[in-house]
A and B are shown apart, each in its own frame.
Chain A
Amino acid sequence: MANTSVVYDSLVKIVGKDFVSDRREERYFYARDGGLMPPHEPDFVVMPRTTEDVQEIVKLANREKVPIVPIGAGLALTGLVIPQRGGIVLDMKRMDRILEVNERARYVVVEAGVTQGALKNYLQRHYPNLRHSIPDAPPVATVVANAVIHGQGRLSQQHGFNSDMVSGLEVVLPTGEVCRIGSCSVSSYWFSKGAPLPDLSGLFLGWFGTTGVITKLGLKLYPCKKMRDVMVFLADKAELVPDIMLRLSHTEMVEDAVVSAAPLPLRFRGTFWVMAYITGDSDEELEFKRKMVWDALWEHFENRDVGFLSVPPDMKAPLMSMPSKDTTRFADVSKGGGFQYAGPITPIEKFPAFHRKLEEVAAKYNVFYASTTRLIGAGHCMMFSFSFSFNRANPDEMARAKKALDECSRFSLEEGGVLWKADVDEQKLLMNKMDPNTLALIRKIKQLLDPNGIMNPGNWEVP
């Protein structure tokens, strides 16, 4: 058991007293997130400013065997940054510098606290012909945390998970060494996280901070066209959605493809909104892409299985906004400040079964639902969200929402899906189903990198 006053004093020496708290209020807030996982308080909340600060803090934690949990904005909603064993929560948001944009190699290097909103603004202002894959999380979500949980964004249909777009890392290992990953380990350029070297980024992406603290990240940028539009198609048969999505993807003209469904407003109940986003540098380019999308779905139009929704400007604006505030607004549907979603990654063909399950579970547990599905890669998989809102002042509704989520997660696994940003219980479900040799490999890697088990303990803990 570490001497807490020694740890506190040491932390103050590293970052200054303004940026260390062991007070009840900070410990309360950082003990929980907006989802349904039970809280657990840290002993300290610390805000480093530099990689050197992080290095000193990690060395201290390793020496004193104090758990350490790096946090961005804490928006995963599955409790991934709840300090299950207390210790130090490392709030990274003071490390907020955008360090470099290489316009011609199309990448940016950011510190770990840079928010999605700040990066979006910076690129719009200084590099209007470049963009990154913006997730629909609120803008305070950090670029690094989104990559660490394998987030998706507006460019995921074309380029895969946002973590696939990482082009380099700087990591403080659990034993205190600062390590560069990717091209930046041998060069001043941050254009690749792996190839042609051994790809070590997999030791950190998807590990939820259990193998080190990412302090800098390179991220690939993509062309930002001058114009953008959304085409909204309506379908009332879940069985048709996979085919619609594949046809859209086949055009290679669609930037982003999303399907949403919700029971309200009533006029849209039972209707799937298929949104195809297109971009262009000219009217001609945009019109050409519109035509390609129409042609791709024409057979369904002729069969009257799909309709086109002419979207008025006031309805189009929220669909076009990045990030989408509507995603966040779902938290207030129950007038209670909470929602959580299970978001399995799964083949597109599972859409009808998943949607049926969503409706069944929502009815069974009497909870309000919504669903957003995003195509990832060129149709290689999708993220299907089983989203349930709940009222934080209604413990019974919270319990029902949690049961609904748990049932959806188990169902997703049975159907061949893989749980995204799995909470600690879901991680156990995944590990129970995992190939034993894979599991053993995870254990070996973890023991090698983090011999004292200080990094976000409770997560990815192989039994």
Chain B
Amino acid sequence: MPKYVSQVHRCFRCGYCKFPSDYSSFNCPSYRRFRFDSYSTGGRLWLIYAWIKGELEWSDHLGEILYTCTTCKNCVEQCPMKFAPDIVDWIVEARSDVVEKGKIPERVSRFFEAVYNYGNPFKQLRSSRAAWANGAKRYARGDEFLLYVGCLGSYDENGQKMARSLVHILNASRISFGILGAEEECCGNEVYMLGEMGLFQNIAEKNIRKFTGLGVTKIITLCPHGYNVMKNIYPTMGARFEVYHYTQVLSDLLEQNKLIPLPAKAKVTYQDPCFLGRYNNVYDEPRQILQCIPGVKLVEMERTRKDAFCCGGGSGNFVTDLLAGSPDNPARVRVREAYETGANTLAVACPGCLTMLTDAAKAENLDGKLDVKDISQVVRDS
């Protein structure tokens, strides 16, 4: 029996999960978006328990409630109970049961089908996975690092720009690395968070086998989602790689004077990606990079670090987009908050955040007022 079945009733629905630590505003993305208590973590857990007990039949609406959770872990940070670290695991386990019963929302189903058939959630051809790469070197045995670009970096227009910037910087810094190109496949982080454990296992085992076969020992990921799954979940399946998010690598390069950014003039605020910050406690390196750029002034948003407000893209929502359709969608709320700092640039370290927040800035008519850029783009443009 999955653990959540015997544990999920322990939620008291006290509502701490809705807040950041200073209680200044609502920090649960789906609750902030929809405002019915049913969309808060407490609501979700009570409804899951009702479903387990047979007091609620499965419905499309219940599926929507379950899948609008972005697994951002704000609830894990804020819940005062001893079981707090398990909350997202319970949600993922419940989703896994839902997947097994074939009751997932249509958009989530399409996400899985695309990953299964195409190796990415965008239904893009595997052969065009490296179309962004513009001659970037393929990984060869003996390279120090494998640069794992991920689906967003490979296919999404914003993600591709981000990937090209990073490759440019790594090349300029004379780092020994290569990419997998068309051989690369989805990392599986979103598939895992969405509860398709069979597909995830297949993806993870295939990736581990491939990386091991190529002699990979160190991986740089473009995306915090890939970083999370390779650093924390692949090892439970036998993987033995050193995994770095690219901001950790750039931060080291700056410290060793192997990367010397040129002066720039920008007031920058920074969006902590959930899978880098709350999941992996990487808060300082991205800020160190920005602060190393002469002329860049870093200003913080009100909600930052472990209290950062999710862009709404986690758990595959950058594709399924279940939180869209309102000025209250988390990405739009977040770009307004970024703009209120007086910054002219919103720096991100995640292709998911990049695409969500870029779209949100357009929706908020902040074009020309607030540039959404990845940190590698900020460095490259300096």
Contact = CB atoms under 8 A, between A and B. Distances in A.
Q: Do A and B come from one complex?
A: yes
Interface of A: 18-19, 21, 23-26, 28-30, 33-34, 45, 47, 73-75, 91, 93-94, 115-118, 120-122, 124-125, 138-140, 325, 328-329, 331-332, 335-339, 391-393
Contact of B10 (A24, A30, A75, A335): A335
A185 B23 CA distance: 32
B11 A47 contact: no
B86 to A, nearest CB: 12
Given A120-B23, A139-B23, 6 more contacts: A25-B65, A75-B14, A117-B23, A121-B24, A337-B9, A392-B49
B80 A328 contact: yes
Interface of B: 6, 9-16, 18-19, 22-25, 34-38, 43, 46-47, 49-50, 55-57, 59, 61-62, 65, 80-83, 326
B148 to A, nearest CB: 39
Contacts of A33: 13
Contacts of A337: 9-13
A138 B59 CA distance: 31
A94 B47 contact: no
B62 A25 contact: yes
25 contacts: A24-B61, A25-B38, A25-B61, A25-B62, A26-B38, A29-B38, A47-B35, A73-B15, A74-B37, A75-B14, A121-B23, A122-B24, A138-B14, A138-B15, A138-B16, A139-B15, A140-B14, A325-B80, A328-B80, A331-B12, A337-B9, A337-B11, A337-B13, A338-B12, A393-B6
Contacts of B81: 328-329, 331-332
Contacts of A21: 36
A94 B43 CA distance: 17
Q: Which of B12, B13, B326 has the most CB of A within 10 A?
A: B12
A374 to B, nearest CB: 19
Residue with the highest number of chain B CB atoms closer than 10 Å, among A94, A339, A392: A392
B36 A28 contact: no
Contacts of B19: 117, 139-140
- Give the one of B14, B16, B22, B47 with max A CB within 10 A: B14
A332 B82 CA distance: 8
A21 B35 CA distance: 11
A93 B38 CA distance: 13
A276 B11 CA distance: 31
B62 A325 contact: no
Give the most central of A121, A125, A339: most B CB within 10 Å. A121
With a 10 A CB-CB cut-off, give which of A30, A34, A337, A339 has the most chain B CB atoms. A337
B23 A118 contact: yes
A93 B47 contact: no
A47 B50 CA distance: 23
Contact of A29 (B37, B57, B82): B37
Nearest to B23: A117
Contacts of B13: 33-34, 337
Contacts of A116: 23
Contacts of B47: 25, 28-29
Nearest to B326: A18
Given A47-B36, A73-B15, A332 B10 contact: yes
B43 A29 contact: yes
B18 A140 contact: yes
A142 to B, nearest CB: 11
A94 B326 CA distance: 15
B84 to A, nearest CB: 10
A423 to B, nearest CB: 18
A2 B16 CA distance: 37
A24 B14 contact: no
B327 to A, nearest CB: 11
Contacts of A117: 19, 23-24
Contacts of B6: 393
Q: Which of A91, A125, A325 has the most CB of B within 10 A?
A: A325
Nearest to A329: B80
A338 B10 CA distance: 8
A73 B12 CA distance: 13
A263 to B, nearest CB: 18
A335 B47 CA distance: 18
A139 B59 contact: no
B83 A332 contact: yes
Nearest to A19: B35
Contact of B35 (A94, A118, A339): A94
Contact of B16 (A124, A125, A328, A336): A328
Contact of A28 (B34, B50, B80): B50
B299 to A, nearest CB: 16
A30 B38 CA distance: 8
Contacts of B62: 25
A332 B11 CA distance: 8
Most buried by B among A45, A115, A138: A138
A39 to B, nearest CB: 9
Nearest to A122: B24
B14 A328 contact: yes
A298 to B, nearest CB: 37
A23 B61 contact: yes
A26 B14 contact: no
B15 A140 contact: yes
Nearest to A141: B15
| A-B complex: 10 closest residue pairs judged by Cβ atoms | A117-B23, A140-B15, A331-B12, A325-B80, A138-B14, A121-B24, A337-B10, A139-B23, A392-B9, A393-B9
A29 B65 CA distance: 12
